[in-house]
Amino acid sequence: MIDLSLYLVASKQDKSDETFLNTLEQAIRGGVGIIQLREKELSARKFFELAFKVKKLCDAYCIPLIINDRLDIALALDASGVHLGQEDLDIKLARKILGKDKIIGLSLQKIEQLKNIEGANYLGCGAINSTPTKKSEILSLEILEQIITLSKLPVVAIGGIDETNVLNLKGLKLSGIAVVRAIMCAKDPFLASKNLRKLFKSL
């Protein structure tokens, strides 16, 4: 059973490896149950080298490491799985390549995309608020609720979620919340993670 309650989407950006890994470790200790490594700008070699270090950390705490987009990196690393967008490799083909035991997440923005989710383990739905990392149109809470109701898979909400707005999701039967800046930019990633997990559990 995957703990999707507090799902961290992490990018190194201008942090040193040491600072980045320390942020991740504090977040895990605070309650993050799964990490997705998203590196849009790094070369395959640099991405792999960073992911290798992150996997070592995740393995030490027995939590899954998901690689964003890059099936090749996930395979080379023997990561826990991969997260795919609507424009990435077909989900059924990804499942065939990865095998039945790996985790596959799928981004979803529209109800009609539910017809192509076979092979995925969970859905990442959003963005539910505007964010610097997601320029797509906002997914309303009404549509999100319909997706949760219609989907046979666990649903994680993403998009500008932080301590100030997470309670807006109250009443939705979400399996988790995915956050980026609320933890990665926090002065105290441990405390931020602890608070977010507590708030999610109260929904």
Annotated binding site: 36-40, 68-69, 88, 107, 131-134, 160
- H/E stretch holding 98 reads helix 91-98
Q: Which residues are annotated as a binding site for Mg(2+)?
A: 69, 88
For residue 98, give both structure tokens.
């990865």
- Rounded distance between C-alpha atoms, residue 125 and residue 157, angstroms: 5
**What residue spans of 1-43 are helical by DSSP H?**
17-30
**What residue spans of the chain are helical by DSSP H?**
17-30, 44-60, 71-77, 91-98, 141-150, 181-184, 189-201
Q: Cα 42 to chain center, whole Å? A: 18
